[in-house]
Structure 1
Amino acid sequence: MTDATWITLISLGVTGLFMLGVPVFLVIAYWVIGCSFVLGMTLDNIGAALSDVFTDGFALLAMPLFILTGDLINRSGIARRLSDFAYSCLGWLRGGLGMASIGACGLFAAISGSNSATTATIGAMLHPEMVKGGYDPRFSAATAAAGGTVGIIVPPSIIFIVYGYMMNLPISDLFVAGIVPGAMMVAAMQAVCWAVCRRNGWGHLIALQPARVLKTALGAWLGFFAIGLVLWGIYTGKFSPTEAAGVTVGFCLIIGLVCAPLHRFMGAPGHDRPVTEKRVRDMLTVEGFGALEIPSITMRSAQITGILAPLIAVSVVMQQILSLLGAQEVIGNFVTGMGGYHAVLFTAMAIVFVAGMILESLPVTIVLAPILAPIAQSVGVDPIHFAVIFLVGASIGFITPPYGLNLYVASSVTGIAYFHLLKYATLYLVALLAVWIAVALTPELASMLLPVR
Structure 2
Amino acid sequence: MEDGTLIALISLGVTLLFIIGVPIFLVIGFWVVGCSLVIDFTLANIGVTLFEGLNFFGLLALPLFIMTGDLINAAGIAKRMSDFAYSILGWVRGGLGMATIGACGMFAAISGSNAGTTATIGSIMQPEMAKNNYDERFAAATAAAGGTVGIIIPPSIIFIVYGFLLDLSISDLFVGGMLPGLLMVIAMQLACYIVCKKNGWGNLIKFEPKRIFQTGLKAYLGLIAIGIVIYGIYSGAFSPTEAAGVTVGFCLIAGVLITRQIKLRELPNILLRSGQITGMLAPLIAISVVMQQLLSLLGAGEVVRGWMSAIGDPTFVLIACMMLVLLAGTVLESLPNTIILAPILAPIAYSVGVDPIHFAVIFLVGDAIGFITPPYGLNLYVASGITGIPYFTIVKYVMPYLFALMVAWMIIAFWPPLSTYLVQFSAVG
TM-score when scaled to structure 2?
0.98
Q: Distance in 1 between matches of 2:342 and 2:353?
A: 16
Q: Distance in 2 between matches of 1:27 and 1:125?
A: 35
Alpha-carbon offset, residue 16 of structure 1: 1.1
The residue that corresponds to 2:68 in the other structure is 69
Q: SS state of the match for residue 6, structure 1? A: helix
Name the aligned partner's letter for residue 217 of structure 2: L
Q: Distance in 2 between matches of 1:3 and 1:170?
A: 38
Alpha-carbon offset, residue 10 of structure 1: 1.4
The residue that corresponds to 1:446 in the other structure is 419
The residue that corresponds to 1:417 in the other structure is 390
The residue that corresponds to 2:44 in the other structure is 44
- Is residue 387 of structure 1 aligned with residue 386 of structure 2? no
Q: Distance in 1 between matches of 2:310 and 2:246?
A: 47
1:261-410 to structure 2, matched below 5 A, reads 286-410=259-383
Alpha-carbon offset, residue 239 of structure 1: 1.1
Per-residue CA deviations over 1:35-62 (Å, capped at 9, x if unaligned) read: 111121222111111110222x111110
Name the aligned partner's letter for residue 157 of structure 2: I
Name the aligned partner's letter for residue 26 of structure 1: L
Alpha-carbon offset, residue 287 of structure 1: 4.4
Q: Distance in 1 between matches of 2:424 and 2:230?
A: 13
Comparing 19-28 with 63-72, greater Cα deviation is found at 19-28
Per-residue CA deviations over 1:385-415 (Å, capped at 9, x if unaligned) read: 1111111111000001111000001000110
The residue that corresponds to 1:83 in the other structure is 82
Per-residue CA deviations over 1:174-223 (Å, capped at 9, x if unaligned) read: 10110100000000001111111111111100001000000000000000
The residue that corresponds to 1:282 in the other structure is none
Q: SS state of the match for residue 450, structure 1? A: helix
The residue that corresponds to 1:276 in the other structure is none
Q: Distance in 2 between matches of 1:104 and 1:95?
A: 14
Q: Distance in 2 between matches of 1:451 and 1:232?
A: 15
The residue that corresponds to 2:163 in the other structure is 164
Contact 1:255 1:288 in 2 (8 A): no
The residue that corresponds to 1:236 in the other structure is 235
The residue that corresponds to 1:135 in the other structure is 134
Alpha-carbon offset, residue 450 of structure 1: 1.8
The residue that corresponds to 1:188 in the other structure is 187
Contact 2:108 2:114 in 1 (8 A): yes
Comparing 135-144 with 219-228, greater Cα deviation is found at 135-144
Comparing 61-70 with 374-383, greater Cα deviation is found at 374-383
Contact 1:81 1:216 in 2 (8 A): yes
Contact 1:352 1:393 in 2 (8 A): yes
The residue that corresponds to 1:14 in the other structure is 14
Comparing 152-161 with 12-21, greater Cα deviation is found at 12-21
Q: Distance in 1 between matches of 2:257 and 2:282?
A: 32
Q: Distance in 1 between matches of 2:356 and 2:58?
A: 18
Contact 1:77 1:287 in 2 (8 A): no
Q: Distance in 2 between matches of 1:192 and 1:407?
A: 18
Per-residue CA deviations over 1:324-343 (Å, capped at 9, x if unaligned) read: 22211111111222113211
Q: Distance in 2 between matches of 1:391 and 1:84?
A: 29
Q: Distance in 1 between matches of 2:326 and 2:311?
A: 17
The residue that corresponds to 1:28 in the other structure is 28
1:198-213 to structure 2, matched below 5 A, reads 198-213=197-212
Comparing 147-156 with 343-352, greater Cα deviation is found at 343-352
The residue that corresponds to 2:111 in the other structure is 112
Q: Distance in 1 between matches of 2:265 and 2:424?
A: 43
Q: Distance in 1 between matches of 2:125 and 2:401?
A: 18
Contact 2:254 2:260 in 1 (8 A): no
Alpha-carbon offset, residue 83 of structure 1: 0.2
Q: Distance in 2 between matches of 1:424 and 1:204?
A: 19
Contact 1:114 1:152 in 2 (8 A): yes
Name the aligned partner's letter for residue 362 of structure 1: L
The residue that corresponds to 1:273 in the other structure is none
Contact 2:54 2:285 in 1 (8 A): no
TM-score when scaled to structure 1?
0.93
Q: Distance in 2 between matches of 1:200 and 1:158?
A: 37
Name the aligned partner's letter for residue 16 of structure 1: L
The residue that corresponds to 1:126 in the other structure is 125
Which stretches of structure 1, 4 residues or more, deviate above 2 A after TM superposition? none
Q: SS state of the match for residue 53, structure 2? A: helix
Q: Distance in 2 between matches of 1:59 and 1:17?
A: 32
Unaligned runs of 5+ residues in structure 2 are: none
Q: Distance in 2 between matches of 1:13 and 1:131?
A: 45
Q: Distance in 2 between matches of 1:397 and 1:52?
A: 30
Alpha-carbon offset, residue 5 of structure 1: 2.2
Q: Greater CA radius of gyration, 1 or 2?
A: 1
Q: Distance in 2 between matches of 1:220 and 1:43?
A: 53
Q: Distance in 1 between matches of 2:395 and 2:51?
A: 42
The residue that corresponds to 1:224 in the other structure is 223
Q: Number of residues paired by the alignment? A: 426
